[in-house]
């Protein structure tokens, strides 16, 4: 594979899909595959298109018909060997619509809410269905999502897990102590972290029902409107950390990362925490069972009682040590993506 065109989010964004796409693009390029990401940029004028190494940015509307038109323009100029759509109802739909018009092979990468939410939304259902049914290959970010897609849409789906950059996220006690000191958290305090964009599906209401009196709760990330009322009493809130070095310090300041999601894909925050040697307590949804063996590399807890018992027994450094070996590398993720495209 010499050249891939990927339709997806702006890879410089801070959302999970954007960060995963940027990571994969870098790994693909390092493996010798020229990779261009086609995405909308609201900083550009309506008729403006910027093509630079690795990116094809366009202004104007961000709706599907305009995105397909711009994708066709990119295909005609760049002549890629294949097209990939990141997230079924957005990049996936547009990638399939454009690739089909140019007789190019096309792969759709399912990321999370596209199947968990958009498939059941009357306004987005047709987009998801078209993307999945008309793609040549489908990739899902968790075994659960692959099975759900096969059951709902009857298509073969390959599981390709998210990865983590180990040159960025790794055990770093000095960075953890520095972050604790900056926040006024004592070295002997037990710290439970909740990281990422905090929205209803993250299940913060579960934490509000638990007895966390022995924990200092550190919340790092953007709070959606109304979510602040679900934070445990006394929780420390730090807005989104845009510097990866500070983010690594925040992970290393934790004893435990909590991921009480109602549904999920394979979140970067869990992979990054594991790569930093942190124990993770999570609900057994999405990609959590793919990453965590309960009682060995973390804890999987379905009920409030299970969560309370697990947190009462933690911290346990053995779980964090076992977690270190779990996440795959970006090179492995990129190789799996290329294998799926080639089949």
Percentage with pLDDT > 70 across the chain: 100
Q: What's the average model confidence in pLDDT over 178-191?
A: 94
The domains of the chain are located at 3-163+329-342, 173-323
Condensed to tens digits (0 to 9), the pLDDT of residues 23-71 reads 999 999 999 999 999 999 999 999 999 999 999 999 999 999 999 999 9
CATH number at 3-163+329-342 = 3.40.50.2000
Give the CB-side neighbour count of residue 34, counting CA atoms within 13 A.
10
Report whether pLDDT(259) > 90. Answer: yes
> In the structure encoding, which two tokens stand for residue 135, read together?
């793609």
10 Å Cβ neighbour count for 55? 17
Condensed to tens digits (0 to 9), the pLDDT of residues 189-237 reads 999 999 988 887 888 889 889 999 999 999 998 888 888 888 888 888 9
* pLDDT bucket at 13, cuts 50 / 70 / 90: confident
3-class state of residue 203 by DSSP: coil
Q: What is the pLDDT of residue 52?
A: 94
Asked whether the beta carbons of 30 and 121 are under 8 A apart, the reply is: no
Secondary structure letter of residue 118 according to DSSP: G
* pLDDT bucket at 134, cuts 50 / 70 / 90: very high
Q: What is the pLDDT of residue 111?
A: 93
Q: What is the pLDDT of residue 232?
A: 81
Q: What is the pLDDT of residue 266?
A: 94
Topology match between the domains 3-163+329-342 and 173-323: yes
Q: What is the pLDDT of residue 223?
A: 84
**Through-space distance between the first and last CA atoms of the chain, rounded to whole angstroms:** 12
Q: What's the average model confidence in pLDDT over 315-341?
A: 95
Q: Which CATH architecture has domain 173-323?
A: 3-Layer(aba) Sandwich (3.40)
Angle of helix 268-275 versus helix 244-252 axis, rounded to 10: 70
Q: Return contacts of 10-15, CB within 8 angstroms, 24+ apart.
A: 10/39, 10/40, 10/41, 10/57, 11/37, 11/39, 11/55, 14/240, 14/242, 15/197
């Amino acid at each position: 594979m010499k050249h891939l065109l990927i339709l997806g989010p702006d890879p410089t964004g801070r959302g999970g899909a954007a960060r995963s796409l940027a990571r994969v693009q870098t790994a693909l390029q390092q493996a010798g595959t020229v990779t261009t990401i086609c995405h909308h940029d609201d900083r550009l004028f309506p008729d403006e298109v910027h093509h630079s190494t690795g990116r094809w940015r366009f202004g104007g509307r961000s709706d599907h018909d305009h995105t397909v038109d711009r994708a066709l323009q990119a295909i005609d100029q760049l002549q890629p060997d294949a097209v990939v759509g990141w997230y079924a109802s957005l990049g996936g739909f547009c990638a399939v619509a454009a690739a089909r018009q140019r007789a190019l092979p096309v792969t759709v990468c399912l990321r999370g809410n596209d199947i968990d939410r958009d498939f059941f939304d009357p306004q987005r259902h047709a987009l998801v269905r078209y993307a999945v049914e008309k793609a040549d290959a489908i990739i899902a970010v968790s075994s659960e999502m692959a099975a759900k897609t096969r059951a709902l849409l009857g298509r073969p789906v390959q599981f390709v897990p998210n990865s983590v950059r180990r040159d960025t996220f790794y055990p770093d006690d000095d960075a953890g102590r520095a972050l604790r000191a900056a926040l006024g958290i004592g070295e002997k305090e037990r710290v439970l972290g909740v990281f990422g964009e905090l929205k209803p599906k993250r299940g913060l209401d579960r934490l509000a029902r638990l007895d966390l009196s022995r924990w200092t709760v550190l919340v790092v990330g953007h709070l959606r409107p109304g979510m602040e009322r679900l934070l445990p009493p006394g929780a420390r809130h730090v807005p989104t950390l845009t510097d990866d070095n500070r983010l690594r310090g925040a992970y290393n300041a934790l004893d435990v990362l909590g991921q009480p999601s109602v549904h999920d894909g394979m979140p970067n925050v869990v992979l990054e925490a594991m790569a930093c040697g942190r124990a993770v307590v999570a609900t057994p949804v999405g990609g959590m069972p793919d990453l965590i063996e309960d009682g060995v590399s973390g804890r999987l807890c379905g009920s409030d009682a299970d969560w309370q018992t697990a947190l009462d027994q933690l911290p346990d450094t053995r779980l964090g040590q076992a977690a270190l070996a779990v996440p795959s590398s970006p090179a492995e993720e990129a190789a799996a993506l290329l294998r799926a495209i080639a089949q």
